[in-house]
Amino acid sequence: MCGIVGYIGNKEAFPIIINGLKRLEYRGYDSAGIALVQNGIVQYKKQGKVADLEQFSCTKNTSGSIGIGHTRWATHGEPNDVNAHPHTSMHGKFTIIHNGIIENYSSLCRQLAERGAYKCASETDTEILANLIEYVYEKEHVSAEKAVRIALSQVEGAYGLLVLCADEPDKIIAARNGSPLVIGVGNGEYFLASDATPIVEYTNRIIYLNDKEIAVISKHELSLKTLFNDTLTPIIQELDLDIECIEKAGFDHFMQKEIFEQPKSITDTFRGRASKNPPEIYLGGLYNVMDKLDKADRIIVVACGTSWHAGLVGEYAIEELARIPVEVEYASEFRYRNPIIRANDVVIAISQSGETADTLAAVRLAKNAGATVIGVCNVVGSSITRETDAGVYTHAGPEIGVASTKAFTAQVTVLTMMALFLGKRRKELATERYEELITELYNVPALIEEILLDNEKYLHVARLYKDAPNSIYLGRGILFPVALEGALKMKEISYIHAEGYPAAEMKHGPIALIDENMPVIIIATKDKSYDKVVSNIQEVKARKGKVIAVVSKGDTVIAQLADHVFEVPECDSFIAPLTTVVPLQLLSYHVAVLRACNVDQPRNLAKSVTVE
Ligand code: G6P
């Protein structure tokens, strides 16, 4: 949420920062701005995309080898030129960009107003912080770094912050509490960003800033401290990320690329963890918490958005295959409702980004309550991975499209492996069944390749229903979360109202919505509820609803009943979430493209939600 980029070195900062902001645009894209150290600090800001800022700045002086830039996802104040970052303090000494929320900003604002004639030009919490730093700097006659430290000691809330000081123009000050910041170490140059994607093309040497740390960076030097002024030794880590992974590689959109990457991302996720001969699961990331997992009375999954849907799939799989009770919680609810957490609970936090504020807070709460916490994250080195006791990475590669696709299937792959692994350890799963499911899991990439071949069909159906204002998604059992995920994909990128429901629940409300204009997307592959789902389809047809059914290949029964069928190869029901979701992803993708929506950056959304 909000993307931050900074550069200090010998190159021109402007193109590096603009390029970096474009890579981070998935974090926020309602306005953007840049500040450059020239003869003094200049700044250019614009409502809209980074490309609008680039266009706006192209006739201006963009020289300078030190600069900071920001792409915004508005929290305080509407998206416009004034509220765009950077923000400069009233007397012009400090220019800052900020990701996060200053929670006590109104009391800080009041205090500043009482102490002097501090007035803010924007409606943002960030400007207050710029003014507070300047106030401390002028009143206490301290260095810029100390002023930042003192000011931040008065701040409640989350921040990833870059600061320029007009009196000390040869440095960038960076600080973090709750919102991610990484520093790329080059030769006589440093790169700063909210995540590593803007940095990877320049260096693979990375320092992750931790909470309550501050870095003061000049061209040749980086000093790292805590906010309490204790000196730290920076730890440089090597980043394993290819530039190709963050390019569109010939696809029109990142989302499309990421959908088509799923055979590879799933293979990468089970590589080294699932062997085919003999069929076996190894989850090395869990070994140091194995005794806790063996004793666990209950698993609590905490997550948000699509990750929460993956958690629901995990609930069905773990309960059935390993017979461990599982509860799946929205992290935002869990963290505030004083949940009962016992020492024998294992909490699994699922998060693509590893930075979602609510999920991170849920992790901290569970840890403080004595539970063992496992992370299922995609971004290596992200906050959740660093705060959990153990974890299993989803090796989906960078996911740039705001609507999550390959991260979902990678998460489901990990959770299915966990269910199998635990089922075997707890002797709840017969060897034959265990081996059969591993073999099926191994086949998934090939099955998805086959499903992707039907792309034209999804496009055809998308053309027919692109103007429908509403849609209903139905599924049963382990495919109910897939219905939720299908509906989420549709609403988030195409702005068509979509509801996901357990198919049998349709009779308790949604059926009232069905008429000849209502598309009902039903996941109806062959499993133990098949006959019941066929009845649900008949109920929809009896009310003249339009049925789009995801069916097992060769199903002639539903082909007679439904208006359209998307065939997927037959597989075990525990594997089916991984296959059946793909036609739904592509249906939403095509509908959104046909409606001329911004597929990769849907309105009002951000990929990484680092505020509550
Ligand atoms: C945002 C994204 C979703 C994502 C959710 C949770 O809402 O737009 O795609 O599912 O956050 O993110 P996480 O990184 O924790 O999986």
- Integer Cα distance of 596 and 598 in angstroms: 7
For a pocket test of ligand 1, which of 195, 258, 313, 352 has the largest count of ligand atoms closer than 8 A to its C-beta?
352
Cα(523) to centroid(ligand 1), Å:
23
Dist. CA 607 → ligand 1 center (Å): 6
Identify whether the C-beta of residue 86 lies closer than 8 Å to the C-beta of residue 47: no
* Banded pLDDT at 28 (limits 50, 70, 90): confident
Q: Average pLDDT in the 270-287 region?
A: 92
What is the average per-residue pLDDT within 332-355?
94
Cα torsion 425, 426, 430, 435: sign: negative
Nearest CA to ligand 1 atom 8: 607
Compute, in angstroms, the gap from residue 61 CA to the centroid of ligand 1.
38
- In 3D space, the residue among 456, 578, 581 whose CA is nearest the CA of residue 523 turns out to be 581
Q: What number of residues does the chain have? A: 612
In the predicted model, what is the mean pLDDT of the chain? 93
In ligand 1, the atom with minimum distance to the C-alpha of 606 is 8
The residue whose CA has the least distance to atom 4 of ligand 1 is 305
- pLDDT score, position 74: 78
Is pLDDT at 120 greater than 80 in this prediction?
A: no
Q: Is the previous residue joined to 86 through a cis bond, with omega within 30 degrees of 0?
A: yes
The pLDDT value given to residue 473: 97
| Structural domains in the chain plus CATH codes | 3-244 (3.60.20.10), 248-451 (3.40.50.10490), 454-597 (3.40.50.10490)
Residue whose token pair is 């971004």: 379
Query: Stretch 180-201: mean pLDDT, rounded?
Result: 93
**513: pLDDT confidence band, cut at 50, 70 and 90?**
very high
What does the pLDDT read at residue 123? 75
Q: What is the pLDDT of residue 392?
A: 96
pLDDT tens digit string along 300-330?
999 999 999 999 999 999 999 999 999 999 9
CA 261–ligand 1 middle distance (angstroms): 19
Question: Is pLDDT of 346 > 80?
Answer: yes
Ligand 1 mean position, distance from CA 332 (Å): 12
C-alpha distance from residue 476 to each of 410, 500, 512, 528, 573 (Å): 21, 11, 19, 10, 11
- pLDDT at position 98 over 80: yes
Give residue 146's pLDDT. 97
Ligand 1 geometric centre to CA of 72 (Å): 17
* Global confidence as pTM: 0.85
Residue 334 has pLDDT above 90, yes or no: yes
Atom of ligand 1 nearest to the CA of 306: 10
Cα dist. 194→28, 183, 314, 532 in Å? 12, 9, 30, 48
Query: Which residues belong to the active site?
Result: 2, 607
CA 287 to CA 292: how far, in whole Å?
10
pLDDT attached to residue 249: 82
- Give the mean model confidence (pLDDT) for residues 602-612: 80
Q: Which ranges of 356-403 does DSSP label H, i.e. alpha helix?
A: 357-368, 383-387
What does the alpha-carbon distance between residue 139 and residue 117 come to, in Å, rounded to a whole number? Answer: 14
pLDDT above 70: percentage of residues in the chain: 100
Q: How confident is the model at residue 521 (pLDDT cuts 50, 70, 90)?
A: very high
Ligand 1 neighbours by CB, cut-off 6 Å: 304-307, 351-353, 356, 359, 402-404, 605, 607-609
Q: What is the pLDDT of residue 117?
A: 63
Q: E strands, 129-167, where?
A: 157-165
Say if residue 612's pLDDT is above 80.
no
pLDDT at 608 over 80: no
| Mutation probe of ligand 1 site: the residue of 179, 363, 404, 406 with most atoms within 8 A of C-beta | 404
Atom 7 in ligand 1: residue holding the nearest Cα:
305
Q: What's the rounded mean pLDDT across residues 422-444? A: 96
Q: 81: pLDDT confidence band, cut at 50, 70 and 90?
A: confident
Pairing mode, if any, of strands 345-351 and 372-377? parallel
CA distance 90 to 110: 15
What is the C-alpha to C-alpha distance for residues 396 and 332, in angstroms, rounded to an integer?
Answer: 25
The type of residue at 441 is: L
> What is the best residue among 1, 29, 307 to mutate for testing ligand 1's pocket, by most ligand atoms within 8 Å of CB?
307
* Nearest protein CA to atom 15 of ligand 1, as residue: 351
Q: Which atom of ligand 1 is nearest to 402's Cα?
A: 8
